[in-house]
Amino acid sequence: YKIRIEVNHHRIKCYLDGKLREDYLVPPEASRSLFVSVNRDTPRGELILKVVNASENVQPTAIHLQGVQHVADTGKAIVLTSASRSDENSFNDPHKVVPVTRDLTGLERDFTYDFLPHSITLIRVKAH
Q: Please, what sign has the CA dihedral across residues 66, 40, 124, 61?
A: negative
pLDDT band per the 50, 70, 90 thresholds, residue 10: confident
**pLDDT at position 4, please?**
84
**pLDDT at position 110, please?**
94
Do residues 91 and 76 lie in contact, with contact meaning Cβ atoms separated by under 8 Å? no
Task: Classify residue 17 by burial, with Cβ atoms within 10 Å: 0-12, 13-18, 19+.
Answer: exposed
Give the model confidence (pLDDT) of 43-69 as tens digits: 999 999 999 998 888 999 999 998 889
d(CA 98, CA 104): 19
User: Mean pLDDT score of the chain, rounded to an integer?
Assistant: 89
CA 27 to chain centre: 20
pLDDT band per the 50, 70, 90 thresholds, residue 119: very high
**pLDDT at position 31, please?**
53
Percent of the chain with pLDDT over 90: 59
Give the model confidence (pLDDT) of 11-39 as tens digits: 888 888 899 988 888 766 555 688 888 99
Instruction: Read off φ and ψ for residue 92, nearest 5 degrees.
Output: -75, -30
